[in-house]
Amino acid sequence: MATRDFSSKQEHLVASYLGGTLTPNSGAGHTKKGDILLDDTIIECKTKTKPSTTFSVKFDWIKNLIHESIAMKKMHWAIIFDFGSQRINDQYAIIPIDDYKEYLELKGE
Protein backbone atom coordinates (compact mmCIF):
# COMPACT_ATOMS: atom_id res chain seq x y z
CA MET A 1 0.00 0.00 0.00
CA ALA A 2 1.23 3.49 -0.83
CA THR A 3 1.54 6.22 1.81
CA ARG A 4 -1.51 7.96 0.32
CA ASP A 5 -3.57 4.77 0.90
CA PHE A 6 -2.71 4.76 4.62
CA SER A 7 -3.56 8.47 4.88
CA SER A 8 -6.85 8.04 3.04
CA LYS A 9 -7.87 5.13 5.26
CA GLN A 10 -7.18 7.17 8.40
CA GLU A 11 -8.99 10.25 7.05
CA HIS A 12 -12.12 8.22 6.21
CA LEU A 13 -12.05 6.51 9.60
CA VAL A 14 -11.73 9.79 11.54
CA ALA A 15 -14.24 11.70 9.39
CA SER A 16 -16.80 8.95 9.87
CA TYR A 17 -16.22 8.80 13.63
CA LEU A 18 -16.43 12.59 14.11
CA GLY A 19 -19.18 13.20 11.57
CA GLY A 20 -16.91 15.41 9.50
CA THR A 21 -16.57 16.08 5.80
CA LEU A 22 -13.49 15.00 3.88
CA THR A 23 -11.91 17.77 1.83
CA PRO A 24 -11.17 17.09 -1.82
CA ASN A 25 -7.54 16.08 -2.49
CA SER A 26 -6.83 16.25 1.25
CA GLY A 27 -6.90 20.03 1.36
CA ALA A 28 -4.72 20.60 -1.69
CA GLY A 29 -7.29 22.98 -3.21
CA HIS A 30 -7.32 26.75 -2.93
CA THR A 31 -10.56 27.12 -0.96
CA LYS A 32 -10.81 24.08 1.32
CA LYS A 33 -7.83 23.20 3.43
CA GLY A 34 -7.13 20.46 5.95
CA ASP A 35 -8.22 16.85 5.64
CA ILE A 36 -11.54 16.98 7.51
CA LEU A 37 -13.93 19.82 8.21
CA LEU A 38 -16.40 20.10 11.07
CA ASP A 39 -18.72 23.05 11.68
CA ASP A 40 -16.08 25.13 13.48
CA THR A 41 -12.98 22.93 13.26
CA ILE A 42 -10.37 22.07 10.67
CA ILE A 43 -8.54 18.76 11.12
CA GLU A 44 -5.26 17.53 9.71
CA CYS A 45 -4.65 13.76 9.90
CA LYS A 46 -1.22 12.18 10.23
CA THR A 47 -0.40 8.47 10.30
CA LYS A 48 2.50 6.09 9.95
CA THR A 49 2.73 3.42 7.25
CA LYS A 50 3.78 0.77 9.77
CA PRO A 51 3.31 0.38 13.53
CA SER A 52 5.65 2.56 15.57
CA THR A 53 6.22 3.59 19.17
CA THR A 54 7.14 7.21 18.36
CA PHE A 55 5.59 10.07 16.42
CA SER A 56 7.30 13.38 15.62
CA VAL A 57 5.26 16.57 15.34
CA LYS A 58 6.48 19.33 13.06
CA PHE A 59 5.86 22.91 14.11
CA ASP A 60 5.15 23.76 10.45
CA TRP A 61 2.07 21.49 10.60
CA ILE A 62 0.72 23.57 13.47
CA LYS A 63 1.61 26.91 11.87
CA ASN A 64 -0.01 25.92 8.57
CA LEU A 65 -3.14 24.65 10.30
CA ILE A 66 -3.48 27.90 12.27
CA HIS A 67 -3.22 29.91 9.04
CA GLU A 68 -5.71 27.62 7.29
CA SER A 69 -8.19 27.82 10.18
CA ILE A 70 -8.05 31.63 10.06
CA ALA A 71 -8.44 31.67 6.27
CA MET A 72 -11.47 29.37 6.49
CA LYS A 73 -12.95 31.20 9.50
CA LYS A 74 -12.80 28.09 11.68
CA MET A 75 -12.63 28.66 15.44
CA HIS A 76 -10.67 25.49 16.20
CA TRP A 77 -8.03 23.23 14.71
CA ALA A 78 -6.69 19.78 15.57
CA ILE A 79 -4.09 17.35 14.37
CA ILE A 80 -5.26 13.75 14.67
CA PHE A 81 -2.50 11.15 14.56
CA ASP A 82 -1.86 7.49 15.19
CA PHE A 83 1.15 5.26 15.52
CA GLY A 84 0.29 3.25 12.41
CA SER A 85 -2.52 1.07 13.77
CA GLN A 86 -5.31 2.58 11.61
CA ARG A 87 -7.80 1.83 14.44
CA ILE A 88 -10.16 4.50 15.77
CA ASN A 89 -9.36 3.80 19.41
CA ASP A 90 -5.67 4.44 18.67
CA GLN A 91 -6.18 7.98 17.32
CA TYR A 92 -4.87 10.92 19.35
CA ALA A 93 -5.45 14.67 19.10
CA ILE A 94 -3.15 17.65 19.33
CA ILE A 95 -5.13 20.78 20.20
CA PRO A 96 -4.27 24.23 21.57
CA ILE A 97 -4.10 24.41 25.37
CA ASP A 98 -6.94 26.98 25.38
CA ASP A 99 -9.20 24.40 23.74
CA TYR A 100 -8.12 21.79 26.28
CA LYS A 101 -8.85 24.22 29.13
CA GLU A 102 -12.32 24.82 27.66
CA TYR A 103 -12.85 21.06 27.46
CA LEU A 104 -11.90 20.65 31.13
CA GLU A 105 -14.24 23.48 32.16
CA LEU A 106 -17.14 21.95 30.20
CA LYS A 107 -16.38 18.61 31.84
CA GLY A 108 -16.52 20.26 35.23
CA GLU A 109 -12.93 19.69 36.34
Whole-angstrom Cα distance, residue 94 to residue 81? 8
Give the per-residue pLDDT at 24: 81
Give the per-residue pLDDT at 79: 98
Give the per-residue pLDDT at 2: 83
* Residue of 70, 69, 46 lying closest to 57 (CA atoms): 46
How confident is the prediction for the chain on average, in pLDDT?
92
Output the CA–CA distances (angstroms, integers) from residue 99 to 7, 49, 77, in the order listed: 25, 29, 9
73: helix, coil or strand? coil
CA 107 to chain centre: 22
pLDDT at 67 over 80: yes
**pLDDT interval class at 29 (50, 70, 90):** low
**pLDDT interval class at 73 (50, 70, 90):** very high
For residue 85, the 8-state DSSP code is: -
Give the per-residue pLDDT at 4: 86
Percent of the chain at pLDDT exceeding 90 = 83
Q: Are 76 and 109 in contact (CB under 8 A)?
A: no
